[in-house]
Amino acid sequence: MQVALVKTFRFEAAHWLPTFPEGHKCRRMHGHSFIVDVEVSGPVDPEKGYLVDYGEIAAAWAPLMCDLDHHLLNEVEGLENPTSEVLAAWIWGRLQPTLPLLSSVTVHETCTSTCRYCGS
């Protein structure tokens, strides 16, 4: 049986987007209540009856929460241009070594705007 599990995390952070044109609202510093969906996928272990313990996903996320929550993302190494695309790839790069079954990272910047990254 093949499944996909999703664990959702939330954090608050500010950012500004330096590559946007002067005068664009996103060029000014502003904040978001970010939501991140971390998806792992693969075959269910028939003996265990599950793919991955959700606690393993939460444990992999915990260090990122410390780096992101209530921070200015532009000051986080690797997020100098913290677009949703860059943020999703940055999160992937930190989670994938611990979560080898990682299949996607989705960043919800607003309730209507998301970016889904599935690795490079």
Please state the domain extents for the chain. 2-117
Tell me what pLDDT residue 103 has. 98
Active site residue 109: yes
User: Is it the case that residue 120 has pLDDT exceeding 80?
Assistant: no
Q: Which residues contact 52 (CB under 8 A, 6 or more apart)?
A: 5, 40, 99, 101
User: 115 an active-site residue?
Assistant: no
70 is catalytic: yes
Q: Give the pLDDT score at 98.
A: 97
Total-model pTM: 0.96
Phi, psi angle pair for 102, to nearest 5°: -55, 130
Catalytic residue among 12, 30, 70, 85: 70
Is the CB of residue 69 less than 8 Å from the CB of residue 12?
Answer: yes
pLDDT digits (tens, 9 = 90+) for 14-49: 999 999 999 999 999 999 999 999 999 999 999 999
86's CB contacts (< 8 A; 6+ apart) are 78, 79
pLDDT tens digit sequence for 63-117: 999 999 999 999 999 999 999 999 999 999 999 999 999 999 999 999 999 999 9
* Architecture of the domain spanning 2-117: 2-Layer Sandwich (3.30)
Q: How confident is the model at residue 59 (pLDDT cuts 50, 70, 90)?
A: very high
